Structure 1
């Protein structure tokens, strides 16, 4: 468990910007200012007794870098501190974080309620692979609390959602969702990838566990894959036990990269949000845009709720062009600055066609239920000049 809740700790009560730079850092005897990268697979013990004590858990210390590494541990403590969690564990990717959470906390015969408005691969994980292991899954509308209530069963163990959602930026009421989860004896797991703790802290609103794709905004420059799970120690220890056995582990180098990303997290998220809001307002006025999905717009149904539980609206938006796939692809292919890639959370703006990429493996009924239409485009707004991004989209939009 992290000790940031101890009033004697120097970072007790520290603000997010300070935690993002200082939390979890310990110095070796060399007195280094920057965090070192411990590129070692194993550790040497002083005696056979110490080795036995380390492996049994009787003595704290490093054992094997699959589940104990000083650089990774620093990242785990820092992201836990930022989310206000007791403990955190790092994984090889964001999907590994979700998988590890499920494998650690669910068993055959359990029931999961999952939002339809999640990343397409997340949907596949639940509906194809978790069901293969005997876990029952129901998909419901993210913002319709009555559907969540109706889906609850005696064996319901976990609620899973993203807020804001990918790619339509729907917003869930986390306080109400957490209350319903508790009443049903379930854990509420929130994917906080779009907001990060810089803009939203689901645990403070009642969630039990938060998962991250560190690949996205926690890094911020599209360099490495990684994930994280944070929450109460009783849950995180179970996830750690799974990772120790099965090995979906974050590398020390990637952890070091994410530590550098966290240092500028709030500043970047503020800038992403400002750019995204400006682009959303511009798109909202374009004659060839049918609809814009961004919770920063007053017209968005989740706007007031987002104002309540987020510090800003994030960097991801989606919009529908007049027409279908042909027109959407025309807009995408006409860009010269934006990167055509499915990743997000980068200082470089990315653009993608969800129906044929991020949600391409879903069947047509699932796409329709999730609102993934052929004329939908997702943009993860980076930090370039907003005027250049507008010109880039105009190349294709003006030709429709």
Structure 2
């Protein structure tokens, strides 16, 4: 591989920027870091160059432009500056791509305008993603900026899985359908699971459980997503850290008409004060498990509700796929919470799904099998790497054009 081989991956949130500089020759990290509390007092930049000591900068980062300028300065100090001729592209995580953006896309003014039009269905994410793109373009206007969309991998869902059963004209007018999220992670993990099995992704059916503070499940048939648990927004599906997941839509009407809550208050309730937090007051699964182990009834209820929803989706997606070769756990909870994995798979032996207690208890940063040898379905822990997936897709697009 010759020429520019580096990709800077940016994930801009409302008050943070995560970044990684990746060399596509071997997928190695040259540097990574995080700027947090942008626009607030107590701002902090943590920069970790590969092979060198991590550095921390405390400052007031007034906006994303100031944050990215500081990131550029830290990279330059390590000889990895944004002006480097070895930089091939900047890849951006963009949460919502709607129906139009189903593949990595070179950013143009037209593309940015369409991402802006999607803000109503991703009000917490797309504005920050747009800001990250605009600031990066200002810093390196000559460099290709690539948008990689969280929704893209799920665009292959058949229409009967993507549609809500509401009036079609109303749905089409307001773009109401199931889009799904965490797609970059689901895509990466489904492929990595196939590699773990020694098979081509086209030969493998996988159920991927991306379990972090947000969580989603996908049914992947031969490398193609056929269903996923999140919908129009990231609120649908699993019990999450602060989100309710699946809920009777009538609850919204009831809370508004009978409870007197405004639409904004209900939005706040379901997105930020529900899930594990709503059930027991903690949204960190580690704390929930600790409390449950000590006999805390509220924490036990929260854990059981979380696992119950996982099992419902596992069984449901088994039925959707018809044949399941592997179940893959990933992300913060999925990779680290052995009790969650054990509880989610308990009692599913008739489906060929089982967990070996000793293998499940092993802590490792590597992809690994945790099911017994006799198990018909391989259960695995597969660390996700969304940044590497974004870098790969961005680099491939730049070399195609």
TM-score, normalized by length of structure 1? Answer: 0.23
The structure where strand makes up a greater share of residues is 2
Greater RCO between the two (CA within 8 Å, min separation 6)? 1
Q: Normalization by structure 2: what TM-score? A: 0.23
